[in-house]
Chains A and B, each alone.
Chain A
Amino acid sequence: MNSNLNANKDLHIVRREDLPQLFNILIKDGHQIVGPTLRDGAIVLDVLEGVAELPLGWTDEQDKARYRLVKRKDEALFGYSCGPQTWKKFLFPPDHILFKADKTRHGWRIDAGENAPPKFAFLGMRACDIHALTELDKVFIAGEYQDSAYLERRENIFIISINCSVVGNNCFCTSMGSGPGAASGYDLALTEIIDGDLHYYLIEVGSEKGEEVLGEIKHRTASQEEIRKGNELLTAAAQAISLKVDTEKLPKILKKSVEHPRWKEIASRCLTCGNCTMVCPTCFCSTVQDYTDLRGSQASRLRKWDSCFNIEYSYIHGGSVRYSSEARYRQWMMHKFASWIDQFGSFGCVGCGRCITWCPAGIDVTEELRFFCQNPLLDTTAKSA
């Protein structure tokens, strides 16, 4: 958990009115800036041309299966919590053509090429989202085989994170050790401070690239008082997070709960619609589909987001191995909170709370985890009721 700004580093101040310079320098540097903007009643992530597209003066109210935009009393640009979308869609697109092939007289001609992906600058990543990126890195590039599509998008991103001063009702990053402030993984980290008429950003530099970019923007060294204000916001944010999960024994408890009757109870509410996996910043499952034209002279292979909540996802010869809803929910939860640790050495959940907000049935993953912790199976061989 990080609820304090790094005291060992120099902190800087960029005034609100100088923020457009950040856009200018990044765009001049060939970056495509992706950040928060208003659309269809939510704060979504999209390509931005300038500061004017940021959700000025808006915040959100979140609850189980509920999200509403609300006007703020101030003109904060980043005064909201996680929205419905995640940054993974830019690094791991929902539809990605792996290759195309054309039939010629001399056989198939493979066309691997899509154009080089844009050089992204991610503006407004939360600490939880940066942690999610770390998890995706483990999945896609840290292992023996690297995913080239992910890698070529990932290696050039410039990350400007925003430390959270606003927390949503469904945030539980403090339990997952991923927020509300970012400890690393950014080029520049911003804390937005509005103090009466003063509106400025407290800035931490996280990389050489960050240092260079900051050098091009009008800034000055932060005062002790300004740093104190930033720390105050972060501490208050950490304290405002009321959703809690005791993670210490979680993997052990879950692994002993394979036959717990609670799975069936959850399944009675679960719609198996897959929304939780679509909004999860770390869910990375995909399927591969082959397409042809009518004449069979062109073919393409597509990688598409998939979900462990889909029947076909676990289809092996003869049928699906996780047909029941409880088996599918269990697979999802066990992976995030137990087997991910065996695979990647950490939890697969970063506590962003998106799965709670965007589950149409309002299933609260923390409530379920607490249930398993409070009602462990006494006898591991017991069968579910």
Chain B
Amino acid sequence: MAARKKPKLAVWKFASCDGCQLSLLDCEDELLEVAGVIEIANFPEASRAVKRGPYDISLVEGSITTPHDAMRIQKVRRMSKLLITIGACATGGGIQALRNFKDIKDFVSIVYARPDYIETLTKSTPIDDHVFVDCELRGCPINKYQLLEVISALLNDRKPNIPKYSVCMECKQKGNVCVMVSKGIPCLGPVTQVGCDALCPSYQRGCFGCFGPMETPNTISMSERFGELGIKADDIIRTYRTYNSYSESFRRESEAYER
């Protein structure tokens, strides 16, 4: 078989904490292997040597919060054959999307000494509100094995195994005892997408919803159950307003309890 040219990879940062792109560096054992099969062409966090585009694969971290970034993501899309969003900021707007529920001008005037220096958008929005996204990896942060899985699938012309069903599927298959049924701990697992290997329930905690809404989230029924467990409306709102507060179903559900 003829040796294939190594695909060029770029990593882009928008409004985010860097945790997701660090997952790539966090691959440690697999990192050399990754570098052996793809050309890390533009990854400022790893190397100052930046190769010019276009790129075969772009990993995009972060949400769009400024007019400048709204322009920049268009440029990134034009330079990228495949665009993969990584993490809750890029796929759902992130924690910073909490601003979307308030008036941004109020924040700016409180936080900054010179509000007139600040140029920001009224909302923090996910990347796919702006450009076409080929594939998304959820999580806050993403799961590095899912990242390796997507890269490996792309390199080998196969479908990536990134399921969109509930956390419960993985939780039960691990043999965990349901924390909500056995202890009355509120858990977002039934409405949250799998991918974390049911991390929190494996340690006797309820799911926080880091991976955002699952494929068909019934948040209305979920909230009713929380209510039966004695969770008050204010806390139900907070439950949905963490890492993926602006994801459609979580947003709608928290707003319903605000009224």
Q: Which residues of A contact B (CB under 8 A)?
A: 39-42, 44, 65-68, 84-85, 89, 94-95, 268-275, 278-279, 289-296, 304-305, 307, 309-312, 325, 357-358, 360-362
Contact of A360 among B152, B161, B168, B214 (CB under 8 A): B168
A68-B156 in contact given A271-B166, A272-B216, A360-B190 (Cβ < 8 Å): no
Contact of B175 among A44, A289, A291 (CB under 8 A): A44
Closest Cβ–Cβ distance, residue A368 to chain B (whole Å)? 15
Are A66 and B181 within 8 A (Cβ)?
yes
Which residues of chain B are near A312, meaning CB under 8 Å? 163-165
Q: Which residues of B contact A (CB under 8 A)?
A: 30, 33-34, 36-37, 148-149, 151-153, 155-156, 158-159, 161, 163-166, 168-169, 172-173, 175-178, 180-184, 187, 189-191, 204, 214-216, 218, 220-222, 224-225
Most B CB atoms within 10 A — which of A41, A273, A291? Answer: A273
A274-B30 in contact given A65-B225, A357-B181, A361-B221 (Cβ < 8 Å): no
Contact of B225 among A292, A293, A309, A361 (CB under 8 A): A361
A305-B155 in contact given A270-B221, A275-B178, A295-B36 (Cβ < 8 Å): no
Q: Which 8 A-B pairs have the closest CB atoms?
A: A278-B172, A273-B190, A94-B173, A273-B166, A271-B190, A42-B177, A292-B156, A273-B168
Which residues of chain B are near A307, meaning CB under 8 Å? 165, 169
6 contacts between A and B (CB under 8 A): A40-B177, A65-B180, A268-B220, A293-B33, A307-B165, A360-B187
Are B182 and A273 within 8 A (Cβ)?
no
Closest Cβ–Cβ distance, residue A223 to chain B (whole Å)? 40
Are B151 and A271 within 8 A (Cβ)?
no
A85-B175 in contact given A270-B218, A270-B221 (Cβ < 8 Å): yes
Q: How far is the CA of A291 from the CA of B37 in the complex (A)?
A: 17
Are B34 and A294 within 8 A (Cβ)?
yes
Are A41 and B177 within 8 A (Cβ)?
yes
Which residues of chain A are near B173, meaning CB under 8 Å? 94-95, 278, 304-305
Which residues of chain A are near B214, meaning CB under 8 Å? 273
Which residues of chain A are near B204, meaning CB under 8 Å? 40
**Chain B interface mostly:** helix
Are B169 and A271 within 8 A (Cβ)?
no
Which residue on chain A has the smallest CB distance to residue B215? A311
Q: How far is the CA of A357 from the CA of B178 in the complex (A)?
A: 10
Further contacts, 5 of them, CB under 8 A, given A274-B168, A294-B151: A66-B181, A268-B221, A273-B190, A278-B169, A292-B155
Which residues of chain B are near A289, meaning CB under 8 Å? 161
Q: How far is the CA of A201 from the CA of B122 in the complex (A)?
A: 72
Are B166 and A39 within 8 A (Cβ)?
no
Which residue on chain A has the smallest CB distance to residue B158? A290
Contact of B161 among A44, A291, A362 (CB under 8 A): A291
Are A273 and B177 within 8 A (Cβ)?
no
Q: How far is the CA of A270 from the CA of B158 in the complex (A)?
A: 33
Which residues of chain A are near B189, meaning CB under 8 Å? 273, 360
Q: How far is the CA of A258 from the CA of B162 in the complex (A)?
A: 32
Which residues of chain B are near A40, meaning CB under 8 Å? 176-177, 182, 204
Q: How far is the CA of A269 from the CA of B34 in the complex (A)?
A: 45
Closest Cβ–Cβ distance, residue B164 to chain A (whole Å)? 7
Are B156 and A296 within 8 A (Cβ)?
yes
Q: How far is the CA of A40 from the CA of B216 in the complex (A)?
A: 29
Closest Cβ–Cβ distance, residue A183 to chain B (whole Å)? 30
Closest Cβ–Cβ distance, residue A372 to chain B (whole Å)? 20
Q: How far is the CA of A310 from the CA of B222 in the complex (A)?
A: 17
Q: How far is the CA of A148 from the CA of B172 in the complex (A)?
A: 24
Contact of A310 among B33, B163, B183, B218 (CB under 8 A): B163
Which residues of chain A are near B166, meaning CB under 8 Å? 271-274
Are A84 and B178 within 8 A (Cβ)?
yes
Are A275 and B216 within 8 A (Cβ)?
no
Most A CB atoms within 10 A — which of B153, B155, B175, B182? Answer: B182
Closest Cβ–Cβ distance, residue A44 to chain B (whole Å)? 7
A310-B221 in contact given A271-B191, A293-B152, A358-B178 (Cβ < 8 Å): no
Closest Cβ–Cβ distance, residue B259 to chain A (whole Å)? 19
Are B172 and A294 within 8 A (Cβ)?
no
Are A274 and B161 within 8 A (Cβ)?
no
Closest Cβ–Cβ distance, residue A261 to chain B (whole Å)? 18
Q: How far is the CA of A273 from the CA of B181 in the complex (A)?
A: 14
Are A360 and B169 within 8 A (Cβ)?
no
Are B33 and A294 within 8 A (Cβ)?
yes
Are B218 and A271 within 8 A (Cβ)?
yes
Are A65 and B163 within 8 A (Cβ)?
no
Contact of A292 among B153, B218, B224 (CB under 8 A): B153
Which residue on chain B has the smallest CB distance to residue A270? B218
Q: How far is the CA of A65 from the CA of B227 in the complex (A)?
A: 14
Which residue on chain B has the smallest CB distance to residue A103? B1
Closest Cβ–Cβ distance, residue A124 to chain B (whole Å)? 17
Closest Cβ–Cβ distance, residue A37 to chain B (whole Å)? 12
Which residue on chain B has the smallest CB distance to residue A290? B158
Which residues of chain B are near A305, meaning CB under 8 Å? 169, 173
Which residues of chain B are near A268, meaning CB under 8 Å? 218, 220-221
Which residues of chain B are near A95, meaning CB under 8 Å? 173
Q: How far is the CA of A274 from the CA of B216 in the complex (A)?
A: 12
Which residue on chain B has the smallest CB distance to residue A83? B177
Are A271 and B221 within 8 A (Cβ)?
yes
Are A84 and B156 within 8 A (Cβ)?
no
Which residues of chain A are near B34, meaning CB under 8 Å? 294
Contact of B181 among A293, A294, A360 (CB under 8 A): A360
